[in-house]
Amino acid sequence: MSDHSRYSSPLTSRYASPEMAYNFSDDKKFGTWRQLWVTLAKAEHQLGLKDVTSEAIAEMEANIAPIDYVLAAEEEKKRRHDVMAHVHTFGVAAPKAAGIIHLGATSCYVTDNSELIMMRDGLEILLGKLAGVVTVLANFADEHKNLPTLGFTHFQPAQLTTVGKRATLWLQELLMDLRNISRARADLRFRGVKGTTGTQASFLALFDNNHEQVEKLDELVTEMSGFPGAYPVTGQTYTRKVDLDVLNALSSFGATAHKIATDIRLLAHLKEIEEPFEKDQIGSSAMAYKRNPMRSERVCSLARHLVVLVGNAQQTAATQWLERTLDDSANRRISIPEAFLTADILLSLLQNIFSGMVVYPAIIARRISQELPFMATENVIMAMVKRGGDRQVCHEHIRVLSHQSAARVKQQGLENDLIERIRNEPYFAPVLPDLDKLIDPSTFVGRAPQQVEKFLKVDVKQALEPYKERLAKLQHVELNV
């Protein structure tokens, strides 16, 4: 059967980065199983188990790859047990070690520990990419910190902000995601060697009831596998609340990505900001003029998938029976890799978008000119009062002129001419010399530029400090589709 005649997940075939796709590949998974068997044998040998010889270990190490997947598939079909199928396959490749591979261990020694390794490595990939996304967006915020733009509440015109300040709202959520994912990574531990129901009974038998040796074995395997510590107690599996903890952080990032991409889609509709658009890109098969925000739409689409995946982890963690039940297995084979793959894709998309985001100051200024006259009326009133005018009289003049201009905008579809009406009204002659200053958009943004500067200098800089080396290698992300 050809590759095109069977289903292939678009997460790997269409979108995912090579590094994340490899992290959840069969080669990584089963290669990690073999490495875990080598690690266990080394630790057992080091602690004096005579049956585990250096020759056997050397042969195992020499045959971690390649893996005979055909033989493994035949064995699994016969034995109905994936771990034992790979134990047998590894034993065929390393016959001197066949009798000691998996010695004292239960299946979860390789399945759970390999999944923790893949999640650890996956989180490291995500953290580096998320730091890169934050860096690119921070540069955008800094570049546009002074550019006034119409703010929106309820997607209705509100007081002015700046393009850069709006970007810091996105940045702040991404920093929360960086913190959440970093914390989940820091909390991740190893299952270690705990035996069939977590009591380490099989290892206690191997070491002739020597509790200290069993504890040392657990510590050695954990250390050799690159973890600072193991979960102190487990059932047959590590608690599935660990998966929930990790997927909570990834799901939360999915919500952030969706919010940011939605904002960009709204701004694209207003023609104020556009995502990158390639020279030969086609926006619509029918409407040749269209420049659809397809990357942001893809972010929203995939983010929804990521957001809901945490529901699987919630239900799995809630329904585990006593020391374990196997109704978690098939679900986790899908939900955990897909959560990581989807988060990885979203980060690649966001970095690509932020790296080439286009701002249209003329469109932004025009929209401000349509709304600012109404917002500026209070400034005009206060200026008239300072020059001896009566506030109530001034308010009435403004009210009449505002209604006339609003009717022109709403009923005739014409431009807002309130400022011109004020210029032509003799009553306002005392403030005409200062009128341009009174309606200057930059005076309506408050401390937005200063807020951006401080946020970038303090919060963003501090959050990115642990990723300086990785950020030095930051590259532009090209998308396949």
pLDDT tens for the chain, residues 1 to 481: 456 788 878 888 888 899 999 999 999 999 999 999 999 999 999 999 999 999 999 999 999 999 999 999 999 999 888 999 999 999 999 999 999 999 999 999 999 999 999 999 999 999 999 999 999 999 999 999 999 999 999 998 888 999 999 999 999 999 999 999 999 999 999 999 999 999 999 999 999 999 999 999 999 999 999 999 999 999 999 999 999 999 999 999 999 999 999 999 999 999 999 998 664 444 544 444 457 889 999 999 999 999 999 999 999 999 999 998 988 888 899 999 999 999 999 999 999 999 999 999 999 999 998 888 888 888 888 899 999 889 999 999 989 998 998 888 888 888 888 888 989 989 988 888 888 888 889 989 999 999 999 999 999 999 999 998 888 877 666 666 5
Cα 321 from Cα 106, distance rounded (Å): 18
User: What letter represents residue 219's amino acid?
Assistant: E
Nearest alpha carbon to residue 273 among 191, 354, 208, 195: 354
CATH architecture under which domain 13-97 falls? Orthogonal Bundle (1.10)
Name the architecture of domain 107-276+290-353: Up-down Bundle (1.20)
Give the Cα-Cα-Cα angle 421, 370, 271 (nearest 5 degrees). Answer: 160
Q: Which residues pair with 153 in a beta bridge?
A: 156
Three-state DSSP class for residue 291: coil
Comparing CA positions, the residue from 260, 284, 283, 265 lying closest to residue 275 is 265
What confidence score (pLDDT) does residue 406 get? 87
End-to-end CA distance of the chain: 26
- Tokens 């290698």 correspond to 473
**Positive or negative, the Cα torsion across 247, 249, 250, 255?**
positive
| Nearest Cα residue to 134 out of 102, 86, 168 | 168
Catalytic site residue from 8, 13, 54, 284:
284
Could you give the residue ranges of the DSSP H alpha helices within 270-325?
A: 294-318
Give the Cα separation of 357 and 135 in Å (integer): 14
Residue 284 annotated to the active site: yes
- Residue 154 bears catalytic tag: yes
Given phi > 0 = left and psi -120 to 50 = alpha, else beta, which region is 446?
A: left
Q: How is residue 276 annotated by DSSP?
A: -
pLDDT, position 288: 41
Percentage helix, strand, coil for the chain under 3-state DSSP, each rounded to 5: 70, 5, 25
DSSP code, position 155: T
Backbone angles phi, psi at 229, to 5 degrees: -170, 165
pTM: 0.89
Q: What is the pLDDT of residue 284?
A: 46
What is the fold, at CATH topology level, of the domain defined by 363-444? Answer: Ribonucleotide Reductase Protein R1; domain 1 (1.10.40)
Q: At 104, which amino acid appears? A: G
Output phi, psi for 230, to 5 deg.
Answer: -110, 160
* CA 317/CA 247 separation, integer angstroms: 12
Contact in structure between 308 and 282 (CB atoms under 8 Å):
no
E strand intervals along 262-408: 273-274, 358-359
Is the Cβ–Cβ distance between 271 and 360 less than 8 Å?
yes
pLDDT at position 435 is: 87
Both tokens of residue 381?
A: 């009133």
Domain with CATH 1.20.200.10 in the chain: 107-276+290-353
Residue 193 near residue 108, CB atoms below 8 Å:
no
User: 202 and 196 in contact (C-beta within 8 Å)?
Assistant: yes
Distance CA 70, CA 26 (A): 13
236 touches 324 (CB < 8 A): yes
pLDDT at position 481 is: 57
User: Which tokens is 426 given?
Assistant: 């003799």
Domain with CATH 1.10.40.30 in the chain: 363-444
Measure the CA–CA gap between 294 and 195, rounded to whole angstroms. Answer: 50
Name residues whose C-beta falls within 8 Å of residue 353's C-beta, 6 or more positions apart in sequence: 261, 264, 275, 276, 295, 296, 299
Catalytic residue among 154, 269, 285, 476: 154
The rounded distance, in Å, linking the Cα atoms of 308 and 247 is 10
Element (H, E) at 153: strand 148-153
Please tell me what DSSP assigns to residue 190: B
The CATH 1.10.275.10 portion of the chain extends over 13-97
As a residue count, the chain comes to 481
Q: Which residues contact 398 (CB under 8 A, 6 or more apart)?
A: 377, 380, 381, 422
